[in-house]
Structure 1
């Protein structure tokens, strides 16, 4: 089983306005609501690819009920920890360019946080845990570390997709995969990355600090995979990018699903690139029919030892 953890899920409320006039009454042309959150996105794509997944995290209030209902209607298994606070709403205002207004997230008292930690005691060595996204401000700074300690004690592999100190603090626990983008890698080490050689140097540092594998995504330049055996550059076919939201989550879903199936990191990288690219080329998270045909069109080249 692949468990995803979304600590701060949301309803993504997408509003389309032809022309936004600040300080005046505006009428929307279209509106949509989706279950939001990086771990939830990973579970949605895993389910689309027919891999067993269960979505974990915190949900509360009518907003939490909406998210649980939408996922259950899609046939996605969930085991969210109920909380008294209301799950947040993130507003995506589309009017020419897109403006985002993200909620902070609910207050989560220690006893509710402990409920989620106890769930990880049931994870086994046959499972994988994926931790993605931001943390509600009410949780302690070491909450990621507490979750990973429980996961590692169970013998399960874990993947983490977060940034900054939260990422750096868990590298010694040997994550199967970390996936910063180029900007996040620069921020993590407090540097400016001028060229690919800089990306390679600091990508290697992720392995030196404990990661088993690392993928650094570089938008139109593809992605770099760092392994103990070598460094590989992967590139998908160039097409019009329609949607950057969820592309990284889709990459993690493709990688984790294929790795649990084959234990082959190169095939996992290929599937990850196909899934991430398919979402970038689509209006929403990619469907299986978009992902599978891309696998054979992914170009992977070894560029360094």
Structure 2
């Protein structure tokens, strides 16, 4: 295992954070009011979750995010104990609110993503400048959704700037944001199977097809491709080989934040110079520990430490 503290600087970009509200109810009933059995408020947004996860792992990182209005002030208050370093870009409007509904009788999960505030070109350029400067020759994590008025190639620009400055860009996004980012040749992307299928434009029915598509992305300049597979674990394709990590069997409370936790685990180990196998193992352990938590709460380190030994990583001859 790597040292307890990061050796490389880590920066996380979160242009569209949120306050997450989770309701646990027996069952949704159309046109009827349903009383929650439980509810909770958590800081949300993919980048925010990655930053929170890194802090829990003892990895120092700075998160760069946009906040707005009263909800933004509430978010800042929530984040005070959960992030070591934060750089806020204040804008007009209101930070978005995301909703998650968990049906206790069926196990179904419903998610609604809110609409974030408008961000001017000057504002996102300023935040991006800070993000790239802090990243330096370290790792820059670029993740999550964007407000509708922001350019779809913004993440591609962020990738190019991080890597031009000598850093390594890590992208976890989807659809056009991911498609454009791939053209900028990031160091690592972490799609799930559905997102990789959307990128490929076709279904990928088995490991061989997933690996084949990942290698096509390598030919286009992406060094590492980690494909998360839910309860099946994840596949990691790097220049040195193909690795399969099997997820431990754990009780599932909520899957929100599981992918962000995987990114946090992998980035935390990569910042400390760990191997592909150890980085994948850590990512899967963090993801498994998160699905055990209620709402959009993330893993606790003690559970990650316990699950790490249960994650089996093997090199495949594919």
Structure scoring higher RCO (CA < 8 A, sep ≥ 6) equals 2
* Structure 2 gaps, min length 5: 1-8
CA contact (8 A) 1:68 1:78 kept: no
Q: Which moved more, 1:227-236 or 1:92-101?
A: 92-101
Q: Does 1:193 align with 2:201?
A: no
SS at match of 1:136: coil
Q: Does 1:33 align with 2:51?
A: no
**Structure 2 CA distance for partners of 1:56 and 1:270, relative to 1, 3 Å:** same
**Structure 2 CA distance for partners of 1:280 and 1:20, relative to 1, 3 Å:** closer
SS at match of 2:102: strand
Between the two proteins, the alignment pairs up a number of residues equal to 305
CA contact (8 A) 2:22 2:102 kept: yes
Q: CA deviation at 1:205?
A: 1.4
**Structure 2 CA distance for partners of 1:139 and 1:160, relative to 1, 3 Å:** same
CA distance in 2, matches of 1:124, 1:245: 27
Q: CA deviation at 1:158?
A: 1.3
Aligned alpha-carbon RMSD (Å): 1.8
- 1:256 corresponds to: 267
CA contact (8 A) 2:64 2:131 kept: no
SS at match of 1:170: helix
- 1:4 corresponds to: 12
CA contact (8 A) 2:232 2:247 kept: no
Q: Which moved more, 1:190-199 or 1:178-187?
A: 190-199
1:256-288 Cα offsets, whole Å, 9 max, x none, are: 111111242222111111111211233331111
CA distance in 1, matches of 2:206, 2:34: 44
* Structure 1 gaps, min length 5: none
Q: CA deviation at 1:86?
A: 0.9
Q: Does 1:87 align with 2:95?
A: yes
CA distance in 1, matches of 2:100, 2:251: 21
**Structure 2 CA distance for partners of 1:240 and 1:120, relative to 1, 3 Å:** closer
- 2:317 corresponds to: 304
CA distance in 1, matches of 2:92, 2:206: 48
> Under a length normalisation based on structure 2, what TM-score does the superposition of the two structures give?
0.90
CA distance in 2, matches of 1:75, 1:181: 26
- 2:245 corresponds to: 234
- The aligned runs of 1:116-127 (5 Å cut-off) are 116-127=127-138
- 1:24 corresponds to: 32
> Under a length normalisation based on structure 1, what TM-score does the superposition of the two structures give?
0.93
Q: CA deviation at 1:218?
A: 1.2
- The aligned runs of 1:158-237 (5 Å cut-off) are 158-237=169-248
CA distance in 2, matches of 1:145, 1:36: 23
**Structure 2 CA distance for partners of 1:300 and 1:132, relative to 1, 3 Å:** same
